[in-house]
Structure 1
Amino acid sequence: MLTLFIVVIIALNNARLGAIEQTKELQDIINKANELTDATRELDTKHADYFQYYPEYKKHKLAISVNFPISSASMNNIPDSTKNDLIKAGRILRDFISKTTQDNPHIQYLLIIEGQASRDKSNFNYELSYQRALSLKRFWEENDVNFNGTNCEVLICGSGDGKLSGTGLMREKEERLNQRFLIHILPKPGKIGDKYTKK
């Protein structure tokens, strides 16, 4: 009985030490994620012409007035000056992520390109907003703005006209201004070491 008691005490102590170590490592990961989230806010201080950060939504708005024509997702329907601004914005974004991940090679980013649509009578605003986001991704690639090799995963999504989400977040009062893009830059700091994960 005494031997069993000693074994249990040792096991509990080891578990307590492991939990303390795991908590410290988790806190380090959280701190690093917070640092990287703060770093993304540099985009709107250094590049306010291209990006605006909204802390209440934790999102960046691409500060370029794209204003697709209604029911259009074609980059051909956008003025050349706007296209040039979109290329510059893409390069700024790519260079920012590349530099940040070089400084922190164990960190990855999730870049979400979100298309939006204005509220009109169309039943295809979600499909249209997705096509707009996809058009921007393809347009960037055609102009040598790639995120390959930057520790960055790129996702394409469309939030339509916001009716189905029920939140109306990040919507402009003037509907034509909602024919645009939102950019989400999320740091993925990694996971707790394998010694803490279940096999």
Structure 2
Amino acid sequence: MSQKKESFFWTSYSDLMTSLFFIMLVLFILVIVLLHKRMEVTERQLAEIKKVEQSTQDLDRKYFTYRPDYKKYVLNIAVSYPVGISDITQMDVSDKEKCLEDLYQAGKEVQSFLERNHENKYILIIEGQASKDSYKLNYELSYQRALGLMKYWCKDRKLNFGDNCEVQIAGSGDGELETNSMREESEILNQRFLIHILPKNILENEEDK
């Protein structure tokens, strides 16, 4: 009788181990399949991100210089304002009409870029900067200057950056607060506009991770 019980125990134990082995094997195969599919998706995402990143570097070099260390564009249009002034029509430049026309053409280039890449979505950040001087509100002033450029593009010159672009206005001031924004040694060169074109594809993929 005891031998029958022992034989029954080992038979049941063997069946249990076989079932557990089968379950582990199925789970192992399932994990491998899921990982493989995940790798395929990740590779496609990386290829898409790389393509989108490269597309943001084809703006006309006549109006823009791309700085890969900061991932920003600098407008190749020298602007200068009197201290404390943000009105774009009061810029202190030798040929104001030409400067304004160049700024308009630069805006048209951004608009054209967004139209060429309509299948992607972007965040366009217009950043104003200010040089260090006696004025105490340069951070607010730099924002107002960027806002002035945006109004000039969209209100005065009727540019439209399309439904695939979210536009944001920013001001990085005069560097007094050491915010690690891009600046030049010559302070007069810091009276300028910086343009950020950020693919939303990258931001969305980062959030999904």
TM class by smaller structure: 0.7 to 0.9
1:185 matches 2:197: yes
Give 2:158's aligned amino acid: D
- Structure showing the higher helix proportion among its residues: 2
8 Å contact kept, 2:129–2:190: yes
Deviation at 1:127, TM superposition (A): 0.9
Over 4 Å off, 4+ runs: none
Render the CA deviation track for 1:123-156: whole Å, top value 9, x for unaligned. 311111111111111111111111132x111111
2:63 aligned to which of 50, 71, 84: 50
1:98 aligns with 2:115: yes
Q: Residue 55 of structure 2 aligns with which residue?
A: 39
Within the alignment, does 1:133 sit opposite 2:150 as a pair? no
State yes or no: 1:145 paired with 2:159.
yes
CA deviation after TM superposition for structure 1 residue 40, in Å: 2.1
- The one-letter code matched in structure 1 to 2:178 is S
- Whether the aligned pair in 2 keeps the contact of 1:119 and 1:161 (CA below 8 Å) is yes
Deviations 1:75-110 (A, max 9, x none): 121322211111111011111111112xxx2x2111
The CA deviation string for residues 171-195 of structure 1, in whole angstroms up to 9 with x for no partner, is 1222122111000111222656xxx
Question: How far, CA to CA, are the matches of 2:106 and 2:134 in structure 1?
Answer: 31
Distance between the aligned counterparts of 1:92 and 1:147, measured in 2?
A: 10
Aligned to 1:19: 35
Match of 1:111 among 114, 124, 145: 124
For the pair 1:172 / 2:180, whether they are aligned, the reply is no
Please give the alpha-carbon distance, in whole angstroms, between the structure 1 residues aligned to 2:45 and 2:81. 40
Computed over aligned residues only, the root mean square deviation of the Cα atoms, in angstroms, reads 2.1
Using the size of structure 1 for normalisation, the TM-score is: 0.83
Q: Give the corresponding residue for 1:63.
A: 76
Deviation at 1:69, TM superposition (A): 2.1
State the alpha-carbon separation in 1 of the partners of residues 143 and 116 from structure 2. 28
The one-letter code of the counterpart of 1:83 is L
Runs of 5+ unmatched residues, structure 2: 1-15
- Determine which structure has greater relative contact order: mean sequence separation of CA pairs < 8 Å that are 6+ residues apart, divided by chain length: 1
Query: Helix, strand or coil: the match of 1:155?
Result: strand
Q: Distance in 1 between matches of 2:154 and 2:179?
A: 33
Equivalent pairs, count: 185
Distance 1:69 1:28, change over 3 A: farther
Matches of 1:8 and 1:14, distance apart in 2: 10
123-132 vs 32-41, which deviates more?
A: 32-41
Aligned-residue sequence identity (percent) comes to 39
Alignment deviations for residues 47-88 of structure 1 (CA, whole Å, 9 cap, x no partner): 222100112221110111122222111112132221111111
Q: How does 1:3-14 map to 2 (within 5 A)?
A: 3-14=19-30
Normalised TM-score (structure 2) = 0.79
Residue 64 of structure 2 aligns with an amino acid whose one-letter code is F
